[in-house]
């Protein structure tokens, strides 16, 4: 249900939807690319209220995942369109498909070493490969594996609202290491955008004007076509 401010502005919002849905972000360091957005108040009603779901911005061929880094790692990634430099291939690196979950974890780009937010576009086939190799802690234990035996850790954590309130819905995050991490970081990337300016802009809007005026990347429930993968990751139907 929309708040009173949203109801008052509905007529204005409706006229602007076609423009907002194709808003171009201008990243902090080059790469003038498109990332579709929509008012939070107009898309949250389309999302599941609870359950385990992959919320993401995706199209027929690609999906966007988010990561937060310090300036050094982010600048190298945007400049080279792959990860390297001070990026560590020896430790697990976490990716998130859900923008608001990323904002909760990085404090809207205010936490130390998470000041720069990257939107990384990869092919859906490779994202599905990541899911195919993912292990929850329960699955790992049931198969008698150690942490050294797996390349992808899957966690379903409570999703959060723009202001940080915990929700009943669960958001996915995937920890990558080993060969999967190397493939993701160097070979599977279609595009890397630095969206830090957008993040800061929207946090300012959230802080001063409220959720009614907040724009977020347009996200939908990601449909995992492979039934075996759906069972493996224990996602809920929607």
- Indicate the pTM of the whole model: 0.87
pLDDT reported for residue 35? 86
Instruction: Give mean pLDDT in consecutive 10-residue pieces for the chain, a chain of 238 residues.
Output: 50 40 39 76 97 98 98 98 97 98 98 98 98 97 96 98 97 98 98 97 98 97 96 96
HEC readout, 55-67: EECECCCEEEEEE
Residue 6's pLDDT is: 52
> Cα–Cα distance between 147 and 149 in angstroms, integer?
5
Q: Where are the domains of the chain?
A: 25-233
- Please, which residues bridge with residue 191 across strands? 121
Burial readout 57-94 (b: 16 or more C-beta within 10 A, e: otherwise)? bbeeebbbbbbbbeeebbbbbbeeebbeeebeeeebbb
DSSP, res 9? T
């Amino acid at each position: 249900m929309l708040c009173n401010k949203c109801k008052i502005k509905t007529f204005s919002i409706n006229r602007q939807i076609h423009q907002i849905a194709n808003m171009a972000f201008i990243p902090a360091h080059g790469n003038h690319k498109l990332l579709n957005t929509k008012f939070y108040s107009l898309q949250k009603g389309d999302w599941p209220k609870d359950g385990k779901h992959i919320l993401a911005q995706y199209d027929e061929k690609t999906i966007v995942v988010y990561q937060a880094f310090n300036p050094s790692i982010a600048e190298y990634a945007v400049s080279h369109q792959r990860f390297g430099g001070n990026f560590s291939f020896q430790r697990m690196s976490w990716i998130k498909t859900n923008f608001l979950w990323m904002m909760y974890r990085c404090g809207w780009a205010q936490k130390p070493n998470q000041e720069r937010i990257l939107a990384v576009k990869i092919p859906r086939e490779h994202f599905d490969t990541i899911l195919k190799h993912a292990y929850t802690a329960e699955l790992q234990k049931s198969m008698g594996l150690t942490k050294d035996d797996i390349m992808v850790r899957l966690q379903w954590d409570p999703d959060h609202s723009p202001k940080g309130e915990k929700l009943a819905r669960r958001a996915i995050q995937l920890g990558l290491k080993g060969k999967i991490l190397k493939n993701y970081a160097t070979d599977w990337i279609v595009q890397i955008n630095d969206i830090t300016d957008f993040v800061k802009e929207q946090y300012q809007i959230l802080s001063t004007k409220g959720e009614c005026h907040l724009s977020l990347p347009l996200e939908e429930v990601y449909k995992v076509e492979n039934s075996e993968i759906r069972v493996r990751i224990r996602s809920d139907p929607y």
